[in-house]
Amino acid sequence: MFARSAVLLVLVLFLAACADKPEPPEKNPQVVAGYFTEWGVYGRGFRVKNLQDSGAVGRLTHLKYAFGKVDGGRCAVGDRWAAFEKPVTAADSVDGVADTAGSPLKGSFGQLRKLKAAHPGLKIIWSFGGWSGSAGFTAAAGNPARFAESCRALLNDPRWAGLFDGVDVDWEYPNACGEVCDSSGPGALTVLLAALRASLGSQALISAAVPGDVGKLRAADYAGASRYADWLGAMTYDYFGASSGSKDKRTAAHSALTTYPGIPRSAATTEATVTELLALGVPASKVLIGVGFYGRGWTGVNGAEPGTSATGPAPGRYGDGIEDYHVLVDRCPPTGTAGGQAYARCGSQWWSYDTPETIAAKVAYARQRSLAGLFAWELSGDTPDAELLTALSR
């Protein structure tokens, strides 16, 4: 198995070296990226048109469409109906024109094409994987050239050719455990990204989501992976959070910028994650930090400060212990900050989430460390006038 992996690595690195350039050309370092989720068009009713109505599209440099699948080690469409089959009404359309039976491209892809035509500077990237969709990456790492070719073919499908500017690999997590565990070895992500670079060429955008957890960062060669990526997006959120069956029974800021008195794990901060990535050899110019447009909450709390005991997760509309910012800011407004993230005590509930003020501090931190920029997970959690993204883009 080791010999086969070594041969694959050598082959992929050779192919990457034969591409126009082994590393992408220098890009504008001021990245403001945001994830648009495929499933948001259902219960949340968050559509591509919302990006236009809120002004968000004018703030974004890059939009990531999440998620495509990794099926049998190949890139594949996630939800065909939402992506390109669902007819969009005139009221929900970017240009006010309804889809018809004869429309060449429906669904969110059709709307993204209209959005991009109106905003030609916007780059759109198709993200594959995610928390519940990462199992297929193990097979992909076993045949990286096949994976890369499948992604290239999918991006160039005649129905939407030219819509996507590249690929985002959201593998949670290479050589470590997320919802599933992987043991492909520390070089697996490097092999995948090298194959993508060789297949897609130097002008394509290639990125990868990487863990916020310092231990998981040490399990893979992220410095090697960064050679073939335009950037790595650090998931600097969800360090803490209550959910059904969770062991987190004490309140804590789920996306603190810095440490603070009483934090359960001192390395569970944005600053610690960035410091680790740089120490591992990832260039600062290729690091993005993530900002969650949602809060993590506990119920049954008996105090206002972080570190207070709780009985379990607070109720949320789409899952226990989680709620969108645009709901929380009115229902449970901030009562303090911890480590550069806001928290809120309201009745028996306690929530932590970012606000325009705490995001401004994260933007200042990204500038101070000369990072590539920031990204949002995910855009439907913002207010109708995009106040969080506005703060992030400043």
Respond yes or no: is residue 172 known to be catalytic.
Answer: yes
The pLDDT tens digits of the residues spanning 216-244 come to 999 999 999 999 999 999 999 999 998 76
pLDDT in tens, 158-192: 999 999 999 999 999 999 999 999 999 999 999 99
Q: Is residue 90 part of a domain?
A: yes
Q: Which of 172, 271, 323, 378 is catalytic?
A: 172
Per-residue pLDDT of the chain (394 residues; tens, 9 = 90+): 434 444 444 444 444 444 444 444 344 348 999 999 999 999 999 999 999 999 999 999 999 999 999 999 999 999 999 999 999 999 999 999 999 999 999 999 999 999 999 999 999 999 999 999 999 999 999 999 999 999 999 999 999 999 999 999 999 999 999 999 999 999 999 999 999 999 999 999 999 999 999 999 999 999 999 999 999 999 999 999 987 666 778 999 999 999 999 899 999 999 999 999 999 999 999 999 999 999 999 999 999 999 999 999 999 999 999 999 999 999 999 999 999 999 999 999 999 999 999 999 999 999 999 999 999 999 999 999 999 999 999 8
- Cα-based distances in Å from 307 to 229, 238, 245, 354: 38, 16, 19, 18
**Residue 360: which H helix or E strand, with range?**
helix 356-368
Say what the pTM is: 0.92
Q: Does residue 301 lie within any of the structural domains? A: no
User: What CATH number corresponds to the domain at position 209?
Assistant: 3.20.20.80
Rounded distance between C-alpha atoms, residue 210 and residue 171, angstroms = 8
Q: 124 has which bridge partners?
A: 63
Residue 177's domain spans which residues? 2-235
Specify which residues 250 forms β-bridges with. 309
Q: Distance (Å, rounded) from C-alpha 194 to C-alpha 278?
A: 20
Is residue 334 in a domain?
A: no
Cβ-proximal residues to 261 (8 Å cutoff; 6+ apart), any chain: none
CA–CA separation, 295 vs 349, rounded Å? 12
Burial of 125 per CB tally in 10 Å (0-12, 13-18, 19+)? buried
What DSSP assignment string belongs to 157-193?
-TTTTTS--EEEEE-S-TTSBSSSB--S-TTHHHHHH
Note whether residue 340 is domain-resident.
no
Q: Determine the Cα angle at 97 with ends 91 and 99, to 5°.
A: 95
**Tokens encoding 69:** 């699948």
Question: Which one, of 216, 365, 358, lies nearest residue 284 by Cα?
Answer: 365
**Nearby residues of 216 by Cβ (< 8 Å), 6 or more positions away:** 173, 176
Q: Would you say residue 269 lies in a domain?
A: no
Assigned domain for 109 exists: yes
User: Does some domain include residue 49?
Assistant: yes
Are the C-beta atoms of residues 164 and 112 closer than 8 Å to each other? no
CB atoms < 10 A from the CB of 80, how many? 11
**Domain presence at residue 388:** no
- Structural domains in the chain (count): 1
Tell me the two tokens of residue 92.
Answer: 């929900």
Q: Which residues contact 145 (CB under 8 A, 6 or more apart)?
A: 11, 12, 15, 195, 198, 199
